[in-house]
Structure 1
Amino acid sequence: MGVTLLDQITSIYYPVLASVGVPVNLVTIVILSRGKCGVSKCITRYLVGMAAADLMVLIIDVIIRCMVGMYFPLSVFTITPVCSVNWAMTMAATTISVWFTVGFTFDRFVAICCQKLKTKYCTERTASVVIGTVIILSCLINIPLYFTFQSVYITNNKPRGCAWTQSFLTSPSWTSFEFLYLTVTPCLPFVLFLLVNSLTARYILVSGRVRRLLRGRNSGENGKDPEMDSRRKSIILLFSISGSFIVLWSTMVVYIVAERILGAEYFVDSDLQKISFMLQVLSTCTNTFIYVLTQRQFREELK
């Protein structure tokens, strides 16, 4: 098979994505770490963690795995043991990035919808515990991936490339592991995003009507509501980040479900596989642009 148009696009897409994504995530980490963006320390922890995880995905997955593998096929990163480690680290970084976003989404759900729990849960200490737990569990669940690869070819007596071992493709135990892994990332997070955001949207609509009604009765007018105004920034940030994730990961979820139903042989090196991955890694640099568009103080710090 010759080089397709999509292959030509990806050869340009990944270098552009890396050249944009790496600096914007670095800038985001620096700006948010200064704590001058008008958001709580709790939110700052999640946002810095998400930017750091996205940066790791860009470096390990886009630059080392895709670009180096594409342009330098005989580099040290294509040696099978190194390639296997890189794959495991790539998937760990992706899992961390996804679940940091889940943690942020749930934190904002509690802050908006669960006022009694808010003071205990939405703290810097809880955010640190959640972040640490996600990192540890994500690394543990991805360690077995190192043992699922074999070499593709041998050059100068060195095994190179990474391909799934036959036991991984046929063993019931590995099949169960793969099912669990794909449930953890991205299927379960995708469902949680839809559920939590729908509950948050419903709460906002109901509570907004009630507060407007009560304020109208007490003051005889519908003036500005300081509490609702303070919530608005958090709500916009929440829905923007969650919505971006849902849109960019939806193709990957469709690809995974279709592959499980129809069989992997129909999707090996397919356009759907390539496009779903392109959209997935695009999510690593969208959050910064969301902050620029939705957060006035972030824009000021950026300037």
Structure 2
Amino acid sequence: MSLNFLTKLKILWAIADIQRIYYPVLAAVGVPVNVVTIAILCRGKCGLSKCVTYYLVAMAAADLFVVIIDLILRQIPIVHWEQFNFVRVIPLCNIHAVLLYAVTDCSVWFTVTFTFDRFVAISCQKLKSKHCTERIAAMVLGIVTVLSLLKNISWYFMFARKYWLSNSSWFCRVGLSVSLSLIWAIVELIHYIVTPLIPFLLILLLNALTVRHVLVSSRARRRLQRRSNGETPSDPEMGNRRKSMILLFLISGNFIVLWVVFTVCSILKRLDYLEYSVSVPAFVREIGSMLQLLSCCTNTFVYAVTQRKFREELANGVKYPLSMMVKLVR
């Protein structure tokens, strides 16, 4: 038993050492890749509809704010607390918590709304013209943002104004009346159920329904084309749907894979506080946090893999400053 505890402690120390390098590197990558993604998508030259562009820009903007508010302003000061010890006297932690959890909710739920939009576009042709528009996309994104802020106001009252700088999900000081309160324990459990457990289930359900519809319609179209032409010609419509599905599945799959450990650990930890004996090693929770933050930096690479025009715009963006430097040197 003692050896097991020592082994877990050594793993936790090793992860803490990795985090001291991992988080600054992730921040150095996460800020520019999300800024570049926003800039490229806003140019509107990637061959995507304006509706899809709205969702992708919103997701990139939310990821950028998560990198700044969570990674740079929380995780890095925690793992480098010796250099950031002055943060403890700044009386803004409860406001920081509201903004942090609000932008995290936005990042997650923007992914859900994008998944639903693509489900409608692929599977519900009658609703496509009404739902998949710039106006609806802007309205949905605005509603999600407002609801995310309202939902997370409770953190302002749960947390104290001073920072704790502990390597824990509670990075602000918390009074005993809160940490031992059944009401606040239930509030926190609901928080983790709403984000990201419910999004997990919704994304899986919507993707399953999308796959089912595409498979059924693909068989029907092939049978119809064989009857009319006697052969199976190429189908541009199915090709477009296939490309849309690849983008959808990579984005939602990336979210699920990188969030699953954090989600399970968060819910089990809160259940443990509610006196349901569910123990999760601390190093597993830390790995979950590292993967969850990584998800804010990966969508750019998904776009680069799946979208040819995005790759071209990205290449042009890299080539332009290099060509200007060459001209200046000459």
1:31 pairs, out of 7, 19, 40, with 40
Question: Contact between 2:106 and 2:144, CA under 8 Å: does it hold in 1?
Answer: yes
1:61 pairs, out of 70, 79, 97, with 70
Corresponding residue for residue 309 of structure 2? 297
1:137 pairs, out of 147, 160, 177, with 147
Question: Contact between 1:69 and 1:78, CA under 8 Å: does it hold in 2?
Answer: no
Cα distance, 1:207 vs structure 2: 1.0
Corresponding residue for residue 233 of structure 2? 223
Instruction: Show CA shifts across 1:42-86 (max 9, x none).
Output: 0000000000000000001001111133333333x4336312222
| Equivalent-residue separation in structure 2 for 1:224 and 1:268 (angstroms) | 52
Classify 1:129/1:152 alpha carbon distance in 2 versus 1 (closer, same or farther; 3 Å): closer
SS at match of 2:45: coil
1:74 pairs, out of 71, 85, 89, with 85
| Equivalent-residue separation in structure 2 for 1:46 and 1:78 (angstroms) | 37
Question: Contact between 1:249 and 1:276, CA under 8 Å: does it hold in 2?
Answer: yes
Instruction: Show CA shifts across 1:236-258 (max 9, x none).
Output: 11001001011111111221333
Corresponding residue for residue 192 of structure 2? 182
Counting only pairs closer than 5 Å after superposition, residues 1-303 of structure 1 correspond to structure 2 as 4-71=13-80, 72-75=83-86, 77-79=87-89, 81-150=91-160, 151=162, 162-263=172-273, 270-303=282-315
| Equivalent-residue separation in structure 1 for 2:197 and 2:272 (angstroms) | 17
Classify 1:120/1:136 alpha carbon distance in 2 versus 1 (closer, same or farther; 3 Å): same
Cα distance, 1:30 vs structure 2: 0.1
SS at match of 1:222: coil
| Equivalent-residue separation in structure 2 for 1:146 and 1:79 (angstroms) | 17
Gaps of 5+ in 2: 1-8, 165-170, 316-330
Question: Contact between 2:34 and 2:63, CA under 8 Å: does it hold in 1?
Answer: yes
Question: Contact between 1:193 and 1:242, CA under 8 Å: does it hold in 2?
Answer: yes
| Equivalent-residue separation in structure 1 for 2:151 and 2:89 (angstroms) | 23
SS at match of 2:91: helix
**Identity percentage over the alignment?**
52
Give the residue type in structure 1 aligned to 2:13.
T
Q: TM-score, structure 1 length as denominator?
A: 0.91
SS at match of 1:284: helix
| Equivalent-residue separation in structure 2 for 1:176 and 1:216 (angstroms) | 58
Cα distance, 1:272 vs structure 2: 1.3
| Equivalent-residue separation in structure 2 for 1:269 and 1:133 (angstroms) | 37
Q: TM-score, structure 2 length as denominator?
A: 0.84
Classify 1:268/1:209 alpha carbon distance in 2 versus 1 (closer, same or farther; 3 Å): closer
Cα distance, 1:175 vs structure 2: 2.7
Give the residue type in structure 1 aligned to 2:312.
E
Cα distance, 1:194 vs structure 2: 0.9
| Equivalent-residue separation in structure 2 for 1:42 and 1:271 (angstroms) | 41
| Alignment length (residue pairs) | 295
Instruction: Show CA shifts across 1:108-138 (max 9, x none).
Output: 0000011101110010000000110011010
Comparing 162-171 with 18-27, greater Cα deviation is found at 162-171
Question: Contact between 2:58 and 2:141, CA under 8 Å: does it hold in 1?
Answer: yes
Give the residue type in structure 1 aligned to 2:52.
I
Comparing 170-179 with 98-107, greater Cα deviation is found at 170-179
Give the residue type in structure 2 aligned to 1:233.
K
| Equivalent-residue separation in structure 2 for 1:241 and 1:137 (angstroms) | 23
SS at match of 2:92: helix
